[in-house]
Amino acid sequence: MISQEKNSGSAATPGASDASAGSSRARPVTLREVAEAAGVSTATVSLVINKKKNARIGDETRQRVHDAIRQLGYRPNAMAKTLVSGTSRFIGLVADGVATTPFAGQIIHGAQDEAWKHGYALLITNTEGNRDLEKDAITMMLEYKVRGILYSTWFHRPTDIPDTLREADFVLVNCFSPKPGAARAVVPDEAQGGRSATEILLRGGHRRVAFINATIPAPAKDGRLQGYKDALEAAGISFDPGLVLEAYPDQEGGYRATEELLKRNVTAVYCYNDRMAMGLYDGLRENGLSIPDDMAVVGFDNQEVIAAHLRPPLSTVSLPHYELGAAGVRLLLGLDEAPGDSPVKIACPAVERASVGVHSTA
């Protein structure tokens, strides 16, 4: 049995006169209908709408046209303008994983806010990495004469540039070409983020700090490790490769890394991501250890629905997805300059919570 939805007010209301509102609406009002209502030619309506200066149209006629437009609710066709200008007020956004990650949403949000600010709307396609769909999507965007295309990936990685994409003005977002200078790109500053994450622990008084890195090769893996080394060096602590572990970057990976971590005699650990930290929390608890007293923990990502809601809430650094989207649009529109051959790097800000206490140095 499927019960009726209470709040939808689905109780019988026979003959409700607005039952079809929104479901069958007259086609859009046309230029011809405006002309007929105003008693003028379609050419005259067109001249009034496009505010042609030299057109000799009397004030009274002009007023009649405006009245007809208002009364009929005529909306000028934005598409028609592109025939004159050659480009539309669209910016395309090709994303490979809107659906499978909570991250991509913020790239969209940032890109949209910035595009909107400059009078552009976003045309978004989610390809889930399907190359055929991607090609069709870019072709569609080209046919709609987009101003340019943001090509984005859900995790930071090197990417090939599809041939079709080269027909457009484009910017890579959260990805980059392995060929130096081949394309403008905007990526997170993984090394700065890794350094900030480690510094949270160093500021807490910790000297023996482990890093659980990912097993999977990625710019994040290299950059976050580099940042860890940089932070140690700046604090005068020599790097000990024995304190770098590796695990699969999810909860299960973090949980399974607990045993190895506990052999390292450390007081603090920086995890490659928040999901790993979440699994490590479970592992530490099962060993009767408390956070932060027995082990201080820092993550990476500031992942919605996890980081702020663990017990205790997790210190971490934010992946700047909103800023990546916004910066991509600014780069595309020429509002920001591309810094030579390397991608623009966006900072990953630290977010401090209760998973790192103050450690009294032994």
Angle at 205 between CA 202 and CA 210, to 5 degrees: 50
Note whether 2 binds its own copies by CB under 8 A.
yes
Looking at 33, 49, 62, 161, which residue binds its own copies (CB under 8 A)? 161
**Residues facing residue 351 across a β-bridge:** 316
Note whether 101 binds its own copies by CB under 8 A.
yes
Residue whose CB is less far from its own copies, 61 or 226:
226
Give, as ranges, the residues between 40 and 69 that touch its own copies (CB under 8 A).
Answer: none
Burial label for 158, CB within 10 Å (0-12, 13-18, 19+), is middle
Give, as ranges, the residues between 217 and 236 that touch its own copies (CB under 8 A).
Answer: 219, 222-223, 226-227, 230
**Residues facing residue 209 across a β-bridge:** 268
Residue whose CB is less far from its own copies, 243 or 310:
310
What is the closest distance, in whole angstroms, from the C-beta atom of residue 49 to its own copies in the complex?
Answer: 12
Distance CA 287, CA 296 (A): 15
Distance CA 300, CA 200 (A): 12
Handedness of CA 145, 148, 152, 157 (dihedral sign): positive
Residue whose CB is less far from its own copies, 118 or 208:
118
What is the closest distance, in whole angstroms, from the C-beta atom of residue 143 to its own copies in the complex?
Answer: 4
Note whether 163 binds its own copies by CB under 8 A.
no
Looking at 58, 178, 241, 242, which residue binds its own copies (CB under 8 A)? 178
Per the listing, tokens 């999977």 go with 216
Helix axes 321-332, 104-117, angle to 10 degrees: 40
Give, as ranges, the residues between 294 and 313 that touch its own copies (CB under 8 A).
Answer: 303-306, 309-311
Looking at 44, 192, 198, 355, which residue binds its own copies (CB under 8 A)? 192
Looking at 67, 160, 167, 260, which residue binds its own copies (CB under 8 A)? 167
Residue whose CB is less far from its own copies, 14 or 241:
14
Angle at 255 between CA 357 and CA 360, to 5 degrees: 20
Polymer length of the chain: 362
- DSSP code per residue over 180-197: TTSS-EEEE-HHHHHHHH
What is the closest distance, in whole angstroms, from the C-beta atom of residue 117 to its own copies in the complex?
Answer: 11
Looking at 124, 232, 245, 297, which residue binds its own copies (CB under 8 A)? 124
Using the rule CB under 8 A, give the single segment among 43-51, 63-71, 236-244, 247-255 that binds its own copies: 247-255
Note whether 277 binds its own copies by CB under 8 A.
no
Rg (CA), the chain: 28
Angle at 352 between CA 348 and CA 355, to 5 degrees: 125
